[in-house]
Amino acid sequence: MKVLVVNCGSSSLKYQLIDSETEQALAVGLCERIGIDGRLKHTPAGGDKVVLEDALPNHEVAIKNVLAALTNPTYGVIKDLSEIGAVGHRVVHGGEKFTKSVLIDDAVIAGIKECCDLAPLHNPANLIGIDACMKLMPGVPEVAVFDTAFHQTMPKEAYLYAVPYEYYTNYGVRRYGFHGTSHSYVSKRAIAVAGLDANNSKVVVCHLGNGASCSAVLNGRSVDTSMGLTPLEGLIMGTRSGDIDPAVIEFVAKKENKSLSEMMTVLNKKSGVDGISGVGSDFRDLDAAAKEGNERAQVAVEAFAYRVAKYVGAYTAAMNGVDAIAFTAGIGENDGKVRKKICDRLGFLGITIDDAKNAIRGEEVIISTPDSKVKVMVIPTNEELAICRETVALI
């Protein structure tokens, strides 16, 4: 079956058409600047990227143009829309309502709407994408795959914040965690690659991209994760602060006469390794600046690695041990220097790294030495494939 995987952001829309039998992407693409002007980048498998500059005033037009690109006689990959058997949507926040992927119906749409409060930038965009696909492909089954669902197995002691309990019961204030599709996919692959028994396994997944999070996966189930009510908590990220003393917010707001929402923008968009270094959020730029002797870039990378190592240590305690550590996403998959920095801080766990294996790029590889007490590996994440599999399983 051919499955269209859709990931709708507020002004962007990523898509892949995947053949579920071969698990190969037939086409991948991205609509950018929706509601501003519009650009559609479409790449058929084995072909050249096509850039279409048609106006994209809203998500419905964006999806219409994606479907036109997929069926285009020159760069399309299917003859007819009837070849699309199902649509899988990435939905950011499922609250406590959605603990797994679901076939979308009116009740599910209402449930996703209820969670808009928790993800005001993301869930409304996801709903617009779902609505547009329903209009343009009536009768085609659609599935919602939630970023938060995998972490719904966390125990209460891991997800409760130590604030008045009514904030949890009245407003749903608790840790939810994100990147769940990636943590689920990567932890399963890690168990397979390390040859572990899924029912007797302790895995830490380090999803290190522009957004970054760690998770503790005990016997295949998430028992803790570093992102919280929102994706701001936890690791140091590209532009997000991760953990800070909450008192910093009031302290700086008073000094700089900033509002609460201005402070939240600072913590989301102007902090992280970008904030520390002043160089930027991309680790390639940070590595280059650090090499030239830029001290703030050096300390930003060091602080990033330190924070990840600290979380791995914490999650080892949470699971009373660790069998495997898996690195994934942009930095986790590509930056061997950062992986090495993190693992060097974890020598107390009996971890040793094989430098030649650590230099391999773009494939699943165990980077620890055979005598390392913990298996450390790189597992390229594939959220679209995971969404495709979930979609097929549900229909």
Q: Which is nearer to ligand ADP, 111 or 211 (CB)?
A: 211
Shortest Å distance, C-beta 181 to ligand ADP: 12
Q: Which is nearer to ligand ADP, 94 or 209 (CB)?
A: 209
- By beta carbon distance, the residue nearest ligand ADP is 330
Residue with tokens 């996703």: 112
Shortest Å distance, C-beta 147 to ligand ADP: 12
Q: Which is nearer to ligand ADP, 297 or 329 (CB)?
A: 329
Active-site residue (options: 147, 224, 323, 335):
147
User: Is 352 buried (19+), middle (13-18) or exposed (0-12) by CB count in 10 A?
Assistant: middle
Positions in the binding site for ligand ADP (CB under 6 A): 209-211, 238, 281-284, 329-331, 334-335
- Please give the structure tokens belonging to residue 103: 């076939």
Q: Which residues of 48-74 are buried (b: 16+ CB within 10 A; e: fewer)?
A: eebebeeebeebbbbbbbbbebbeeee
Catalytic (active site) residue 354: no
Q: Which is nearer to ligand ADP, 76 or 180 (CB)?
A: 180
Residue 383 contacts residue 207 (beta carbons within 8 Å): no
Shortest Å distance, C-beta 377 to ligand ADP: 17
From residue 269, how far is each of 229, 302, 325, 333 by CA, in Å?
17, 20, 29, 23
Supply the residues annotated as catalytic.
Answer: 147
